[in-house]
Amino acid sequence: MLTHRHIRDGHAHFDEYENLGRGGSASVERVRHKLSGLFFARKKILRGNNIATQQRKLEEFERELKALQRLRHKHLVSYVGSYTDLWSFSLILTPVAELELKTLLERQAKEPLLGEEVNWLRNAFGCIASALSYCHENRFRHKDIKPGNILLNDGQIYLCDFGISHDWNDLPTATTTGDPGKFTLRYCAPEVVNRQSRNEKSDVWSLACVYIEMISVIKGHSLQDLDRFLLNENSPSVDYWCQPEAAKAWLDHIRDGSPDDVALDWIEKMVSLASVHFGIPFDHVNSSDRILAIDRPQQTLSMTSKLTSTIPQWTIISSAGAVSRDHRRRS
């Protein structure tokens, strides 16, 4: 495909097989292209019943279409084609994911994850970091990093959903001000909620929140365990933006001397990025992290780029030690 088409009815070209998920304004379905017989994921945004709604949804569709056409990375969902018909704006994507990271993390509350699933989580740190680093290098802010926008398919990880992303390719800086528009409260950065100036570091904060949940599950804790701890720290809610210190306390709480502890150190540094902006005394952050926290895009080191070089070393060491433990537990 790789083109956009205006057609009368998408049903004439695609058979629907399975509903994969539904968000605020879109649904995702597993579909089969009638001509080729190939299966794809289709993200469909219904037009709405008034002009204002249609215009808003069209802008969201065009924003994601532009991002997917420009961004190509092994850990991003791939754009195949797109179309508009009388009822919807639709993106045709690959792969058709098996499940979301959100589903895998929530499963821990019911039963411990299998050893291979835990090792997949370890490997996912580097995959997600490299995908986000690529987006930032190509002057895109994702703006909605969360477990529900991270997909698993055939052992591979994919970042998806660029519907509210920000493209600053033609702008001097990534920084924006004013109304942030849509955001997910649990994972958004403090400056987003407070309507302060924001840039790529807001994505890094959101990624840190996802990492907190990933490392918690790797260490055998459920998301409910995490939420209970946050509330017991006299925090007003389980949303990370209003309690960076409680999040850091949780990281200390789950430290157990295992090889996985190395992840806790750089997750805490990622949280510190926003902590400086949130009002924690600047003296509490070491000099190397201050460089990351200063809003000077042309001089600022990329935290996500640093992570892509450090994470693989940890996952190799950690996986080697943990596979045997997991197999012993299952035997």
Binding positions for ATP are 43
Task: Please state, for a pLDDT cut of 90, what percent of the chain lies above it.
Answer: 55
Question: In this structure, are residues 218 and 121 in contact, taking their beta carbons and an 8 Å threshold?
Answer: yes
Query: What is the distance between the alpha carbons of residues 273 and 84, in angstroms, rounded to a whole number?
Result: 41
Strand partners, 141: 166
Asked whether the predicted pLDDT for residue 290 surpasses 60, the reply is no
214-232 pLDDT, tens digit each: 999 999 999 999 999 999 8
CB 192 within 8 A of CB 241: yes
User: What are the tokens at 81?
Assistant: 């084609």
Per-residue pLDDT band at 305 (split at 50, 70, 90): low
Residue 235: CB atoms within 10 A of its CB come to 18
The dihedrals phi and psi of 100, each to the nearest 5 degrees, come to: -90, 155
* Neighbouring C-alpha atoms within 13 Å toward the C-beta of 278: 22
CA distance 48 to 65: 19
Alpha-carbon distance of 192 to 27, in angstroms, equals 26
- In terms of phi and psi (left: phi > 0; alpha: psi -120 to 50; beta: otherwise), the region of 273 is alpha
Matching residue, tokens 């055939």? 154
Cα(123)–Cα(103) distance, integer angstroms: 17
Token readout for 266 is 């750089």
Distance of CA 259 to the CA centre of its chain: 24
Domains of the chain: 4-94 (3.30.200.20), 99-167+179-277 (1.10.510.10)
* pLDDT higher at 280 or 319: 319
Model pLDDT for residues 95-139, shown as the tens digit of each residue: 999 899 999 999 999 999 999 999 999 999 999 999 999 999 999
**What's the confidence (pLDDT) of residue 273?**
63
Q: Band of the pLDDT at 327, cuts 50, 70, 90?
A: very low
Cβ neighbours of residue 292 under 8 Å, at least 6 residues apart?
Answer: 201, 269, 273, 300, 301, 303
What mean pLDDT do residues 39-43 have? 96
Task: Give pairs for 290-298: CB < 8 Å, separation 24+.
Answer: 292/201, 293/201, 295/175, 295/197, 295/199, 297/173, 297/174, 297/175, 297/199, 297/200
Mean pLDDT of the region 84-95: 94
- pLDDT tens sequence across 58-84: 988 999 999 999 999 999 999 999 999
Transcribe 221-257 into DSSP letters.
--HHHHHHHHHHTT-SSS-GGG-HHHHHHHHHHT--S
Which of 306 and 322 is assigned the larger pLDDT? 306
What are the pLDDT digits (tens) for 142-177?
A: 999 999 999 999 989 999 999 899 988 888 888 888
Question: Given pLDDT bands bounded at 50, 70 and 90, which one contains residue 320?
Answer: very low
Tokens encoding 292? 């990351």
**Which residues define the annotated binding site?**
43
Q: CA 198 from chain center: how many Å?
A: 17
CA–CA distance, 193 with 175 (Å, rounded to integer):
15
Q: Which residues, 6+ apart, have CB-to-CB distance to 290 below 8 Å?
A: 276, 282
Task: Locate all alpha helices (DSSP H) within the chain, ordered by sequence.
Answer: 51-70, 101-107, 115-137, 190-193, 200-218, 223-232, 244-253, 261-278, 287-293, 303-330
What is the DSSP annotation of 72-128? --TTBPEEEEEEE-SSEEEEEEE---SEEHHHHHHHTTTSPPPHHHHHHHHHHHHHH
